Amino acid sequence: MRTIFHVDGDAFFAACEQAVHPDWVGRAVITGAERGIVSAASYEAKAKGVSRGTALWDVHRIIPDAIIVPSDYETYSTFSNRMFNIVRRFTPEVEEYSIDEAFVDVTGCDRMYNCSYNELALRIQSVVVRELGISVSIGIGPSKVLAKVGSKWKKPSGVTEITVDTRESYLSKLDVEKIWGIGNAHAARFRMAGIRTAWQFASMPESTMKQSLYKPLKEIWHELNGTSVNPVITSIKQAYKSISKVKTFTPPSSNALYLKARIMRNLENACIKARRYGLLAGSVGLYLRKQDFRSAYGEHKLAIASVYPSELFSVLENMFDTLFDQRALYRATGVVLLGLHSTGQAQKSLFSHYNASKKLAGLYKSMDQINRRYGKHTVATGTSLRLTHQPYHTSSRGNIPIRAQKRLIGETSRQRINIPLLHVVV
Ligand SMILES: [Mg+2]
């Protein structure tokens, strides 16, 4: 049995700002001034009802004396590195999962430090507070999924240990879509099956699970039941075996153009993540889910590894044409990048392709920079723009437009500020 910590910074960006500006401690501090919406809110601001995504004009109204600053990623990364390095003093088995989150395999550390895992977590917390002036919450569990449930359970400065024996009392109080890796994409599917809590999912019989085609869900099921199937991976470059981006939409659609636009958006999201970790995909997978919850899935091995939507989309389009049934209504699409390996390895073996890729690499590097600064999809590929401009939803009876979807769920008009569109031909 493994023991895994999930270490998670509390209101991380806002906490870094307070650590740098001690006179801001105890006050409502908001980051995200450059985006027009809250990126992070200090606990003082959260207490008044401000949270991530709140529009800044609302913040002004709710907390007139709030301190609102633009994000300062350089400072946050410095804090992030220092935080991970503190954890590494205890064990090298640290996976940097995001700027303020790490998974740590502490199996055996209880004997090494002659203390309980709970005490070890408290020690890590106190060193982080003492040296960095920020706080972290730590979840302890036999798997990554349970550790992640734990770190969210009690915040800020919480330590929550979930064992195989105690998991029911936590999971029965948790909505199934709150589980890491499940999200809203599968929530409707679970609801149909009468599964509302994480515990209801975890206590499904294994035989039922085996029939599910969707591998990530099976892995989550095992992790919820205390079997670690996703190990803590120390090297960032191997951190992902696959990257998948699946999203449900309403109303369901049978319009191929609209569905392809959704696929392009899934692909863009998956590629952004892969590029962030310096990874190339060796294969791509396409996932389509119908309204009746049946799904179709196809995979294709690429002749040349890539991480650029403009190269990968045609492959997905071909698969789509094979999988797509025009009599059916679809409610979710997804893209999976598989066979991931680091960019360095690929450049050597694919020398002839290197020049063309170098140009694309430059193009996407600029896109990534713009998008990091101004919000995701400020610059996007032409195909996915169908999502934002045209009424492509159709009813089940034919091509009667139901409504125009102006934005994707979760996006705000502020994220689409006016900067020139970079049109990539696909
Ligand atoms: Mg956090």
CATH of the domain at 211: 1.10.150
* One domain, residues 398 and 287: yes
Whether 74 maps to a domain, the answer reads yes
Domain CATH code at residue 16: 3.40.1170.60
Whether 423 maps to a domain, the answer reads no
With contact defined as beta carbons under 8 Å apart, do 151 and 137 qualify? yes
Q: Please tell me the distance between residue 97's alpha carbon and the centre of ligand 1 in angstroms.
A: 11
Q: Please tell me the distance between residue 272's alpha carbon and the centre of ligand 1 in angstroms.
A: 21
Residue 36, both tokens = 């027009």
**Whole-number Cα distances in Å, 84 to 87, 117, 152:** 5, 18, 19
- Model pLDDT for residues 258-297, shown as the tens digit of each residue: 999 999 999 999 998 888 877 889 999 998 988 887 778 8
* One domain, residues 268 and 352: yes
Whether cis (ω within 30° of 0) applies to the bond prior to 251 is yes
* One domain, residues 213 and 242: no
Domain range for 99: 10-104+112-135
* One domain, residues 215 and 305: no
- Model pLDDT for residues 200-213, shown as the tens digit of each residue: 999 999 888 777 76
> What angle (nearest 5°) sits at the alpha carbon of residue 311, between those of residues 355 and 308?
80
Residue 107's CB is within 10 A of a number of other CB atoms, namely 17
* One domain, residues 201 and 318: no
Whether 2 maps to a domain, the answer reads no
* One domain, residues 384 and 298: yes
* One domain, residues 176 and 130: no
Residues 6+ apart with CB under 8 A from 317: 260, 263
* One domain, residues 268 and 128: no
Whether 381 maps to a domain, the answer reads yes
Q: Please tell me the distance between residue 42's alpha carbon and the centre of ligand 1 in angstroms.
A: 11
* One domain, residues 117 and 26: yes
Count of residues for the chain? 426
With contact defined as beta carbons under 8 Å apart, do 40 and 62 qualify? no
Residue 356, both tokens = 């063309």
Whole-structure pTM value: 0.59
Whether 301 maps to a domain, the answer reads yes
Q: Is 101 annotated in the active site?
A: yes
* One domain, residues 296 and 401: yes
* One domain, residues 280 and 304: yes
What does the alpha-carbon distance between residue 103 and residue 94 come to, in Å, rounded to a whole number?
6
Q: Please tell me the distance between residue 12's alpha carbon and the centre of ligand 1 in angstroms.
A: 6
Q: Please tell me the distance between residue 147's alpha carbon and the centre of ligand 1 in angstroms.
A: 14
Residues 6+ apart with CB under 8 A from 393: 251, 253, 255, 258, 401, 402, 403, 404, 405
Q: Please tell me the distance between residue 203's alpha carbon and the centre of ligand 1 in angstroms.
A: 29
For the chain, 426 residues long, give each residue's pLDDT as a single digit of tens: 999 999 999 999 999 999 999 999 999 999 988 888 999 999 999 999 999 999 999 999 999 999 999 888 778 888 998 999 999 999 989 998 888 999 999 999 999 999 999 999 999 999 999 999 999 999 999 999 999 999 999 999 999 999 999 999 999 999 999 999 887 778 888 888 899 999 999 999 988 877 776 778 889 999 999 999 999 988 654 456 688 888 888 899 999 999 999 999 999 999 988 888 778 899 999 989 888 877 788 888 898 888 999 889 999 999 999 999 989 999 999 999 988 877 654 443 343 444 556 677 778 888 787 777 777 676 766 666 656 544 334 434 443 333 333 333 333 433 333 333 333 333
- Model pLDDT for residues 41-54, shown as the tens digit of each residue: 999 999 999 999 99
* One domain, residues 219 and 356: no
Identity (one letter) of the amino acid at 218?
A: K
Locate tokens 């045209």: which residue?
A: 390
- What does DSSP say about strands 94-98 and 67-69: parallel, antiparallel, or unpaired? unpaired
Q: Please tell me the distance between residue 14's alpha carbon and the centre of ligand 1 in angstroms.
A: 10
Q: Please tell me the distance between residue 40's alpha carbon and the centre of ligand 1 in angstroms.
A: 9
Domain count for the chain, please give it: 3
Active-site residue identified among 101, 161, 268, 311: 101
What does the alpha-carbon distance between residue 227 and residue 238 come to, in Å, rounded to a whole number?
21
Q: Please tell me the distance between residue 8's alpha carbon and the centre of ligand 1 in angstroms.
A: 5
Neighbours of ion ligand 1 (CB under 5 A): 8-9, 12, 100
pLDDT attached to residue 415? 37
Whether 269 maps to a domain, the answer reads yes
Whether 162 maps to a domain, the answer reads no
Q: Please tell me the distance between residue 273's alpha carbon and the centre of ligand 1 in angstroms.
A: 18
Domain CATH code at residue 411: 3.30.1490.100
Q: Please tell me the distance between residue 305's alpha carbon and the centre of ligand 1 in angstroms.
A: 33
Residues 6+ apart with CB under 8 A from 416: 375, 377, 378, 388, 407
pLDDT above 70 as % of the chain: 82
Q: Please tell me the distance between residue 162's alpha carbon and the centre of ligand 1 in angstroms.
A: 19
Whether 97 maps to a domain, the answer reads yes
